[in-house]
Structure 1
Amino acid sequence: MRHFIFFVFFFAVFAVPARAEAPANAVPVAAPEPEAAAAQAPEVPAAIAVLLEAGSTAQYVGEEAGYQAWLLIGPGQKQVSYIKLGENTVISGTMTDEKGENMSARQLLQAAADGKLENIAEITPETAKNQGLGDKFLAETAALRTLAYGPSTGKTLYVFMDPNCPYCHQFDKAVRDLITAGKSVQLLVIPAPILGPDSRDKAVRIYGAASPTAAWEKFMADGTLPDLPTDPAVKEDAEKTIAANLHVMSRWKLPLVPMIIWRGADGRVMMSYGTPKDMQELLHNAGIE
């Protein structure tokens, strides 16, 4: 299987997010035994260690096609970087396979599901010069064409989702179950096909439907999709909508899906990626009781 790495450096428009304060009732996670930690994350390579000395943090993502993948987060940047096994040179960018599928995104999804990556993060940094960036990010997200479920008076959760992402399906179902149970929460879905051409095709079908909201709900329920729009204008509009969604993800350096954004109970803008391991913790943080 052929793999390709496009060397693109990404520079974020905000400082490194600080981890959100855990709710009072959250149970701290015990540190893994040394043997378990070593099995999950290899020793930090020298080329990565140099970046850590410059103020970056590194989270091990996994191994793919003979490369170790590391998520680097530092002042003004967030990027996936690779080191070829047996070598010590860092290359940064997106790895794809011969079908154009985004292997880097798949790696990040799996790493988040396995608990290898930090989860809840505060978007608005605790520095005076960056105050208000969280509000700006939330405003740009809210301006996108969302698919709404649940009461409009409920607490709003914006979620970027890829149609082919299994963790997106899990989160979608979890929130719908909460809505069915009477929780005052509104789910605003933003289709963002980052996993490849098939994901994009599905997103076009959904946005090109007479009712995109109903089309997404049907797809989540049983996998059924509407036909591709035959009207060129409708298809073009769907493509533009998808491009706008992906632009916001790229502009704010959102690494993977599901990417969940909300305003916390204390007023700060927060985000979490991947399926939350503790949904109650997220609800508590968002002020949903």
Structure 2
Amino acid sequence: MTILNTNLSKSTGILSSALLNTKFKLKHTLLAMTFIPAIALAEEVTYPEPIARWQQEGVSIVSEFKAPNGMRGFTAMYEGVGITLYLMADGEHVLWGDLYDAKGTDLSAEALEAAIYSKMAAELWERMEKSTWVQDGSTEAKQIVYVFTDPNCPYCREFWQTSRPWVESGKVQLRHILVGILSDESPLKAAAILNDKDPAAALLAYEQSNGQGALALPNEIDEKTLANLESNLEIMDALGASATPAIYYLSPKGRLQQQLGMPDDKQLKAIMGEPE
């Protein structure tokens, strides 16, 4: 069980090894670990001793849920992963892992989704909403898609070009969360776009030039813009993405979805819907 339905394409811009030791590459943080304090420590609860003892082993108990045959179920986090613990009816023995019924239905999935993953997804979406992004498309668009974009990423540019029918029809709004990870010049280009008097127009012109258009690159990145770029990268890192484009959107059921790399035709329709 994961927080995201994830699609991975080979068409990605991978971080340059030259940047691994720079301020633009933050230490990787496991997705779920970011949200343990908000979820697991929301309130103090006393748990049965056979369950509570696992807290000494680094397990964060999140909530209790109904389980069959006199058992008590508990959702928890361990090393960044949602898990379930089951206290047997005798009150002394504990089962750790997913529980299935005779038909093969995972009885743990719904509890994990409700107690952990749906809340994590909502927080991640909110973090992207509050990040520094560049609007690409109508404010009236019904479908919002966040894209972590490096100005030097050829697959980001391909996604931008391929998305034009949906964006120009007003059906989809892309929100480009700029990062600078592929080359030493990437953060400077990202800063130039963000600092333009009209970032949306600057990004449009740059993409229309196929990445060949001149940008007024700064000699140094000012502190505010640097903080915004670092924050964008931190969010990308929290989402578990290390390549661009990293694409996030909500399914018709409101679940957070992830597409890593340039999507194929089927994946594009899942992200954007049918083209106009």
Provide the C-alpha distance between the structure 1 equivalents of 2:233 and 2:185, rounded to a whole number of angstroms.
Answer: 15
Select which of 262, 266, 269 maps to 1:283: 269
Aligned to 1:144: 131
Matches within 5 A, 1:90-239: 126=113, 128-154=115-141, 155-180=143-168, 182=169, 184-222=171-209, 223-229=212-218, 235-239=222-226
Structure 1: stretches of 5+ with no match in the other structure: 16-73, 78-124
Give yes or no for contact 1:11–1:76 (8 Å, CA) kept in 2: no
C-alpha deviation, 1:285, in angstroms: 5.4
The 3-state SS of whatever aligns with 2:32 is coil
Query: Is the alpha carbon distance of 1:190 and 1:10 closer, same or farther for their aligned partners in structure 2, counting shifts above 3 Å?
Result: closer
Kept in 2: contact 1:161–1:258 (CA 8 A): yes
Change (3 A) 1:225 1:194: same
Q: In 2, distance between residues paired with 1:195 and 1:138?
A: 24
Instruction: Quote how far apart the aligned CAs of 1:75 are.
Output: 6.1
Judge conservation of contact 1:208–1:235 (CA < 8 Å) in 2: no
Radius of gyration: which is bigger?
2
SS of alignment partner, residue 266 of structure 1: coil
Alignment of 1:6-21 (within 5 A): 10-14=28-32
Displacement after TM superposition at 1:213 (Å) = 1.3
2:166 maps to amino acid: L
Please give the alpha-carbon distance, in whole angstroms, between the structure 2 residues aligned to 1:247 and 1:199.
16
State the shift of 1:229 in Å: 4.6
8 A Cα contact 1:265 1:286, kept in partner = no
User: Alpha carbon RMSD of aligned pairs, Å?
Assistant: 2.9
Distance 1:134-1:240 versus aligned 2 partners, 3 A rule: same
Q: Could you tell me how far 1:183 is from its partner in structure 2? A: 5.2
Q: TM-score, normalised by structure 2?
A: 0.56
TM-score relative to the length of structure 1: 0.54
Give per-residue Cα distances to partners, 1:165-184, cap 9 Å, x unaligned: 1000000111123323x251
Aligned equivalents of 1:270, 1:206: Cα separation in 2: 27
Deviation track 1:41-62 (CA, whole Å, cap 9, x = no partner) reads xxxxxxxxxxxxxxxxxxxxxx
Distance 1:199 1:207, change over 3 A: same
Q: CA deviation at 1:131?
A: 2.9
Per the alignment, do residues 203 and 10 of structure 1 end up closer, same or farther by CA in structure 2, a change over 3 Å counting?
closer
- Deviations along 1:90-148, one digit per CA (max 9) or x if unpaired, are xxxxxxxxxxxxxxxxxxxxxxxxxxxxxxxxxxx746333311111111011112111
State the alpha-carbon separation in 2 of the partners of residues 149 and 281 from structure 1: 20
Letter in 2 for 1:174: T
Q: Greater RCO between the two (CA within 8 Å, min separation 6)?
A: 2
Q: Which residue pairs with 2:12 in the alignment?
A: none
> In the aligned structure 2, how far is the partner of 1:9 from the partner of 1:236?
20
Alpha-carbon offset, residue 247 of structure 1: 1.5
Aligned to 1:259: 246
Q: Shift in Å at residue 14 of structure 1?
A: 2.1
- Alignment equivalent of 2:227, drawn from 237, 240, 258: 240
Q: What residue in structure 1 maps to residue 37 of structure 2?
A: none
- Structure-2 change in CA distance of 1:260 and 1:236 (3 Å): same
Structure 2 CA distance for aligned equivalents of residues 210 and 271 of structure 1: 31
1:63-102 map, 5 Å:
76=80
**Alignment length (residue pairs):** 177
The gaps in structure 2 that reach 5 residues or longer are 1-16, 34-77, 82-111
Structure 1 residues 267 and 288, CA gap change in structure 2 (3 angstroms): farther
Q: For the residues of structure 2 that align with 1:195 and 1:183, how far apart are their CA atoms?
A: 31
SS in 2 for 1:144: coil
Q: Give 2:240's aligned amino acid.
A: K
**Displacement over 4 Å in runs of 4+:** 3-6, 285-289
Q: Distance in 2 between matches of 1:226 and 1:75?
A: 43
